[in-house]
Amino acid sequence: MFFFAVFGVENKDEFIGTCNNAVCPACGGNGYYEVHKSYTCLHVFFIPTFKWNARYFVKASCCGAFFELDPVVGKRFEKDRTTEIREENLRRVNMRQPFKYCPNCRANVAPEYSFCPYCGGKL
């Protein structure tokens, strides 16, 4: 008798949806949130059988700020896309942004610039 098993553990990131008309707690700009789910999954014969360590993340469209979403609100949003995401449900993940944000034209600018290359405004 020969037994051959194919299994593995994989970290996955899944886009869940967007939440419109959101006010960003980081910059105060209006935009939308992109909601993602990150989890670890066990595969047996390439079929996902067990998921654990689920976390929900939100990225703001205005400045690119990244937040961790309360898991209860994340599960509710996964089932019902009309769930409201409030500022108290978000926890800032990265305090340093990889870019600067232009308040005039709302463009993402490399951190070495002092003036926006798109509109010329002071950063």
Position 61 in a domain: yes
Whole-angstrom distance, CA of residue 104 vs CA of residue 118: 10
Enclosing domain of residue 58? 7-92
Position 21 in a domain: yes
Predicted pLDDT at 97: 56
Predicted pLDDT at 95: 55
Whole-angstrom distance, CA of residue 85 vs CA of residue 20: 10
- Check: CB of residue 41 under 8 Å from CB of residue 48: yes
Same domain, 39 and 76: yes
- Check: CB of residue 85 under 8 Å from CB of residue 22: yes
- Check: CB of residue 70 under 8 Å from CB of residue 54: no
How many independent structural domains does the chain possess?
A: 2
Same domain, 63 and 100: no
Position 2 in a domain: no
Position 42 in a domain: yes
Predicted pLDDT at 15: 93
**How many CB atoms are closer than 10 A to CB 112?**
6
Predicted pLDDT at 1: 43
Q: Considering the entire predicted model, what is its pTM?
A: 0.71
Predicted pLDDT at 90: 94
Same domain, 69 and 117: no
Same domain, 47 and 20: yes
Same domain, 18 and 44: yes
Token representation of residue 90: 């978000």
Whole-angstrom distance, CA of residue 87 vs CA of residue 102: 22
Token representation of residue 47: 């079929």
Same domain, 87 and 105: no
Q: 49: part of which helix (H) or strand (E)?
A: strand 47-60
List of the chain residues with pLDDT < 50 = 1-3
Predicted pLDDT at 93: 86
Same domain, 44 and 79: yes
Same domain, 88 and 107: no
Same domain, 54 and 24: yes
